Each structure stands twice: as C-alpha cells, then as structure tokens.
Structure 1
Amino acid sequence: MGSLVRAFKAYDIRGRLPEELNEEIAYRIGRGYSDYLKAKKVAVGYDIRLSSESLANALQKGLIDGGAEVLDLGLVGTEEVYFATSHLKLDGGIMVTASHNPKEYNGMKLIREQSKPISGDSGLDEIKHLVATQDYTQSEDIVLYESKSQRYDICGEYTQHLLGYLNRDVLRPLRIVVNAGNGAAGHMLDNLEAYLPFEFIKINHNPDGNFPNGIPNPLLPENRQATIDAVIEHKADFGVAWDGDVDRCFLFDENGQFIEGYYIVGMLAQAFLNKEPKTKIIHDPRLTWNTIDVVTKAGGIAVQSKTGHAFIKERMRQEDAVYGGEMSAHHYFRDFAYCDSGMLPWLLIAELVSEQGQSLSQFVEKAQNSYPISGEINRHVSDAKSAVQRVLDVFSDSAVITDKTDGISMEFGDWRFNLRSSNTEPVVRLNVESRGNPELVEVKTKQILALLEE
C-alpha cells in the first residue's frame, strides 16, 4: 500500500503522474479527507495542468462518497480556494496543483475550516494513514455525484475582497506588465482590470497546461527574460510574474530589474504599517535586518517565525499579526484568513507607488544599498549535519548572536548568515547579508561555501 502514499510530503501532496498520483489515489484522498475531518461541505479547485481536472473530478467523488457536498470552483488560483473556504464558512478546501513543478507532476494542497493548513502534524499524516489502509470502494451512483457537486464561481466575490484592501482614490494610471506564465492568474487580472486605472500589458496570459513558454517559476533566472523585455519595450512602471497556481508573485522594477523577495517583504510591511501603526509583522529567519529596520522605524513590532507556510500562519494567528512575509515570495495576510496570496502583494505595491509618487526602483534602492544580500545559494553535500557543524565550529566564538529557530543564524555586528538543511534532500541553503557592504557579503559567502565543500 506504500505506493498509494508516496506523493504525501511534509506540507502537501505532490507526485509524478501516474505512478505516484492518479485518479484512484485522488479518489482515496477524497475519502480519507472526508473521514478525517467529517466535512459536510468542501471547496475544490484545480490549476491549468492537463491532468488537474480529471484528478479533481476523482477527488470530488471520494469526498462525496465520504459524506461531503462539494463546491466545484473549476480552474482557479490556490488563493481562491483559500478565500472560498473562509468566506463561505466551509468545512475545508482542496486545491489540485503542482505549482511550479515539471508538467509530469501534480499534487494537492489541503485546508480545513477557516482555511487553516493541513500539513504533516496537523492532519496530513492521519489522512495518509487512511489512504494507505482503508478499503475504499467507489460508488457507481452518478445521480449522487451530480446532486452533491455544485459549480460555484467565486471570482466576482474574490475580486471585491481584493479591492477592499486598496484606497482606489490614490491610484494612478500605471502601466504594468503582467506575466501569468500561462497559469491561473489571467482570469483574476481580467476581473480586476475593470475596477483599476492601470494599463495591463499581458504576456503569456491564457491558461495552457502544455506550458508553451516553460513552467511558470520566476524564481529561475531563465524564466524572467520575457517579463524583463516587456517592461523595457513598453516603458512600464513595473512588471509582475506569477507561478502556476498564483500563490507567489515576483516583481520587476521600471528598468526590468528583478527584485528579491526579501525587499518586497519590507515594502509590504511598510504599506501595512502606514495604515495600521504599532501592529505586528512576521518574518522568517533567513534574511532579517531590512525587515526589522523598516518595521521598527514605522512603529511596528517584528516577530521571527520558523520558515514554512504552516509555521508562519500559526505564528500570525498567535500574534494577531497583520502581515507575514518570506523571502521566497510567499506573503500572508491577516484579513485573508492568514493565508498567502499572489494577487495582494502587487496591488498593495501599486498603491504604495501611486501614493508616494516614487518608482519601484527608488523604493527598494535604499534597502538594497543598506542591506546587500547573497541571494539564496543551494549546495549539495554528502552529509548536511557535518557540513553545518563545520561552519558552526569556525564562527561560534566570534558570533554576537546565535539563533537556531530555523537552521542556524549567526550575527557578527556588520554581517550575518542563515544556514539551513533541506528536510527532503542532502542540500544546505545559505543566505548572507551585511550592513551596506556588498564586498563583505561576497567574501563571507565564499568562506562559508568553502567550509561546506570540505
């Protein structure tokens, strides 16, 4: 039965088609989810992958045989499943997506009431056990499936929710390149367009599971050029690109320069603190100084959390934080059931740019100069634990602060680093930053990499 659950990971479900994920397994996941949650009404959505609709249909049958009714959202972004679940007060939601993984993969993201995440130690392990051990047999009652599954278009309600974050009176007629990557962002942009004074330059706009322009993952430098070229050609105010299921967005300034997610966290923290001073902002430990600086100067409170959506969301609920941001381009919002959204970040930044009358490059220039970074560097190592210990041994005596919230973070007055081991492969991830000294970042990065490779 192990072959039935190979797609279960620490935070979600993700596997190769058809051996790790197929319609039979999707059906069993629906049954296991229903049995575990005793859910009465569940939202189901799916991304643009060619396998997603059939997997979603099998999933729905499992949910219905398990006693649930289904709201079929159709082709949507992950955040629309999050929104539908909390907004309509459902018992849970499931998004069929493999996000930015290669097209021979698919997966699922599971949530429960109030859009709370279901991950390894919060229900996913229990569902995995049910999928692996229970004798689930599919009903042949087509009438039952048709009566218990209702098509529901959430996009109009979600559009109004997004607009509720903005003061549209301050918005200027910006020209914005929007690159949906042939993923699920296009319909959301089309719905927003009627309410905003922006001119959209749309590229790779139509959903296409064949991925004619490559897998939508703007974290990869080779996937950024189309957005860069369009920003420059159309003299746009800035550019935005999304991953396939729209839960991450990536920004480019008016010169086509890609902006690291770390600096976007600072901008969004500023945007929220402008509206709600003295509130809490959650950040991850990988890169911190710019975020802490921005939040402190704006009168807010910066709170560090372990990396990962389940940890960030839980900490935000504990602290009642208005916003949480990770340098990986995941941004979380209190008024969005503490969930991550790929639409809200660029909208809030468009408002900030409009209101302040500055370009995006002007906004991030100070932060980039004040806190230069290495960017996240991944290294394959034979023994991650030993590699990390070598680094600790060299730097422990001189570190002013050593923090083990997530991997090791060490501070030295004018520079700091975070080093983390992957949970799933022999890889370590390094981030280095300094106070205004890019040469120091380069020197220290090389020093740590040399220690890792010994």
Structure 2
Amino acid sequence: MTKSITCFKAYDIRGELNSQLDEEVAYRIGYAFAEELNAKSVVVGSDVRLTSTPLKLALTAGLIDAGANVTDIGMAGTEEIYFATKHLGVDGGIEVTASHNPINYNGMKLVKAGSVPISGDTGLDAIKSRAESLDENSVNDRLAFFTDNASIDADAFFKGKAHIQVSKLAETGSYVEDSCMDAYVDHMLSYVDLSNFTPLKIVVNAGNGAAGKALDALEAELENRQIPITFIKVHHQPDGTFPNGIPNPLLPENRADTANAVIEHNADFGIAWDGDFDRCFLFDADGQFIEGYYIVGLLAAAFIEKDQDSKIIYDPRVYWNTEDIVANAGGTPIKSKTGHAFIKERMRKEDAVYGGEMSAHHYFRDFAYCDSGMIPWLLIAELVCVKQQTLASMVKQRIEAFPSSGEINSKLNDADAALARVTETYKPNAEVIDTTDGLGLEFGNWRFNLRKSNTEPVIRLNVESKGDIALMEEKTAELLAAIRAE
C-alpha cells in the first residue's frame, strides 16, 4: 500500500508540519533521493527552525539506509548547500528549510551533482513516487532504530556543529561533519577586488535566521585582510522561534527595523535576508527599501564593465530598465521564464555570467549558476566604493527613467476569470504581446505583466512605464479595478 505525500511542489518540497511533513516523510524522501539519483554521497544542511534538525536527522537516516555517505554542514543557508555540493564533488545536496513560510511549515530544497536543480520533470516527481512506495512497516522500524541510536547537542547545533552519534546505524552509508565555511568565505570574496574597498558602515539584519553565522565568518576574514567595513547587526543571533517575526523583507511590514537602524547609525546602506538567505534586500542610506528590479540592473552593469560580451538573464515581469542598461553597456539581455529552475537552465544554455529576478534572487555563473544572498551585497559594496556614489544616487535615475509598481497580489475567487477579463480588454490594443510567463502586453510607453500563482487563487500584477510615474500609477489602479471586479 502506497502512502500519499502532499508536500512535493513544482520545484521543491514544502508542507505543513505533521499533516504534510514529518520525520517519516523526511526519511522516505532521503531514501528515495539516494535511490533515484543513485547517490553515493550527499551533503545536507538545515536552517534555524526548531523542526529542521529532527527532519534533517530523519532525512539523513533514509539517505544512509539507501547507501549514501552523508556530509552534514550543520546550520546553513541554502546557498551553502549549493556551494558544498559542487565544492565537495558529491552526488547531491539537500537543505531542510521553509525559508519565509509560516512557523508551522517546513520543507526541503534539492539539487543534483554540480548543484543542478531538481524540479518535477527532472527527478522530483520520480523521487516522490519512490518515497510513496516504500513499505510503511519497514520505514517505521528503521526510523525508530535511528531515533534510538542518534542524539544531538542542541546548543552545539546552533553554533553550527550538529554532534550526531550514528555509530550504531546500518553499515550501508556513513556520516561526517564538514562545514566548508572557510572555502565558502574564500569563494564569496573572490567576486570582488578587496583593494577597491574604502571605509563602509553597513546595517545587516539576519532576521534571527541562518545568515548571521555566514556573515560572522565573512566579517572575520574581512578583518583578517584589514578591509574597513563596520557591521551594525540587527536580529543577528539564530533563533528558531523567530521572536521578531518570520524573516521575509519582501513584505513592507518587515522592513522598519532595518530602515530605522540605517538611519540611527548613519550607515552607508542596509541589508536584510530571508530565513535561508538565498535572497538579500537592500536599503539606501535614507533607509529606503530598493526594489530588487533595480538591483538587477546595477549588478548586470557591474558584470558587463568587467566583460562587455556578458550575457544577462532576466525575468519577464519588469525588464525595461534591465534591457536598457545591458544594451547600452554592450551586453546581451536574454529573457527567461520566472523561477529558479528556468533561470538556471537558461543561464547554463547561454553560459550567462549573471541572472536576476525582481524578487531579489540573483544567480551567478561561477556559483554553479545558483542564487546567492551574499554575493550581491559584496558587489554593491564594491560599486559604492569604486564609483564613490551612494546607493540611492545609483538607482534614483533608473527609478525615474523606468518607474515600476512593484508586484501587487490579488487573492480572488476565480483567478482564471480575472485573467480572461484583462486579456479581453487590453490584448486587442497591445503593440507587443509576450507570453514568456503569464500575459505581458506593451503599449508604447507603458506595459504590464499578469501571472497566476501556481499554488493559490492569486493574480500577480507588475506595471512599468517609460519616465512617467503618473501614467504607471494610473494604469496600475485601472488594472487592479479590472482584476478585482468579481
């Protein structure tokens, strides 16, 4: 009899604890992952959530029982798994994380050798089928055996070292610990020329998530190399209870602590991360949040300055600013469907040096085409020093040239009907029709993109114009009225 598992999504694993995801499901996933990929070596890590450690241990039990040798890098962000998977040359990697989801959720992000993403049609569906088909009695027996013979020092775990005793486990696989932190830090710093740095004061808000430990390691090496950066730390210590709320700076209500600290300390700029720090969000010296869209343009220009033949990948929600910057700098702009699996696939195909999404996901060719929340701020810090300009001055002109609404979500009873209404009204008069991802229509000096969510009855709207804030705001209000006219 098969077990129905409902936490598998299109590109990762996410589910409500106990009802969709528990230790038994985690064991099944580990076993199925190793079997499906024929993985003999796997690296695992977990974020700071209190449920992440037991889920990682159960996952590890499944991997070991299926014959995999497991390397545990302890408390880590998703990008540390990406790095370790390639750095160690293993067959796959799994990060236990729910990122910015509610406290009663958890999940996993999975990659193959070389940190190639696994999505539904590239292995995730097959892993799900294998996980569901495992014998229930056998799974429960093995999980109980593992639980009886494994232990963890919780205090040590939150310092980044999970001391697990696995000597009595099955001899099919093995377990070791290796943080890879020194190699990770060296790789992060390879993206910038540290001789370019002048004194900086930066506010950093880890949101009590996994970013704090990685930032501390970077800070220590920067001090060792006598780089004059002072960090003002906000909500820095990892805390799986999230006393200051789930770290998700994409939500406006979660930005005040970073913004206020920037102003209070007269910092050059501020950074905030989500829970597993694969995204970073930037604030200028006035504490103003900068939309990820405009950071894409800055980073694209930075790479093209180093290599004019650079190819830049971007998503189709808003892109006029990116296209303009890349084309004028001599690079090649290439549009891709939204989502990390699509962006990474297109980057590999084109051998693109950088890819960026407005959602603050930034991807780098030399980082196995993966997204990082640490590389972007290092590059921005270098730009501020080299150009001797504030972050605000670097983006102000771009915001004025291509004002954007930011992504606006509308929860509806019938998302399909809303999309049909907008299509019928606007498509006949469009000068350009783009269906790369959702509905994208251009009308001379303004455009919009409308996409349905894959997981909920939500429509996502983005509007931009060419140098006309009033027009952008007018069309945004007009479209929202049409979308919400149920």
Report TM bin, short chain. Answer: over 0.9
**1:104 aligned to 2:104?**
yes
* Ranges in structure 1 where 5+ consecutive residues have no aligned partner: none
The Cα offsets for residues 189-223 of structure 1, whole Å up to 9 and x where unpaired, read as 11111323210001101100010111000011111
Q: Which residue of 2 aligns with 1:224?
A: 255
Q: 1:4 touches 1:25 (CA, 8 Å); kept in 2?
A: no
**1:185 aligned to 2:211?**
yes
* Alignment of structure 1 residues 375-390 onto 2, 5 Å: 375-390=406-421
Q: Which residue of 2 aligns with 1:20?
A: 20
Q: Could you state the TM-score of these two structures normalised by the residue count of structure 1? A: 0.98
Q: 2:3 touches 2:133 (CA, 8 Å); kept in 1?
A: no
Q: Which residue of 2 aligns with 1:435?
A: 466
Q: 2:2 touches 2:134 (CA, 8 Å); kept in 1?
A: no
Shift of 1:151: 0.5
CA distance in 1, matches of 2:169, 2:469: 63
* Ranges in structure 2 where 5+ consecutive residues have no aligned partner: 147-166
Across the two proteins, how many residue pairs are aligned to each other?
454
Q: 1:4 touches 1:20 (CA, 8 Å); kept in 2?
A: no
Among 188, 205, 208, the alignment partner of 1:162 is 188
Greater Cα shift, 398-407 or 234-243: 398-407
**1:300 aligned to 2:326?**
no
* Alignment of structure 1 residues 99-138 onto 2, 5 Å: 99-135=99-135, 136-137=138-139, 138=141
Q: 2:301 touches 2:329 (CA, 8 Å); kept in 1?
A: yes
Shift of 1:82: 0.3
Q: Which residue of 2 aligns with 1:258?
A: 289
Q: 1:381 touches 1:453 (CA, 8 Å); kept in 2?
A: yes
Q: 2:2 touches 2:133 (CA, 8 Å); kept in 1?
A: no
Q: 1:421 touches 1:428 (CA, 8 Å); kept in 2?
A: yes
Report the aligned-residue RMSD: 1.3
Q: Which residue of 2 aligns with 1:172?
A: 198
Q: Which residue of 2 aligns with 1:200?
A: 231
Percent identity between the aligned chains?
A: 60
Letter in 1 for 2:169: L
Q: 1:100 touches 1:244 (CA, 8 Å); kept in 2?
A: yes
Letter in 1 for 2:104: E
Greater Cα shift, 135-144 or 192-201: 135-144
Letter in 2 for 1:42: V
Q: Which residue of 1 aligns with 2:475?
A: 444
Shift of 1:47: 0.3
Give the match's secondary structure for 1:282.
strand
Shift of 1:375: 1.0
CA distance in 2, matches of 1:145, 1:211: 36
Give the match's secondary structure for 2:30.
helix
CA distance in 1, matches of 2:104, 2:180: 28
**1:414 aligned to 2:441?**
no
Q: Which residue of 1 aligns with 2:353?
A: 322
Moved segments of 4+, more than 4 Å: 1-4
Give the match's secondary structure for 2:290.
coil
Shift of 1:383: 2.2
Q: 1:3 touches 1:20 (CA, 8 Å); kept in 2?
A: no
Among 284, 308, 312, the alignment partner of 1:277 is 308
* Alignment of structure 1 residues 230-241 onto 2, 5 Å: 230-241=261-272
Shift of 1:6: 1.1
Q: Which residue of 1 aligns with 2:168?
A: 143
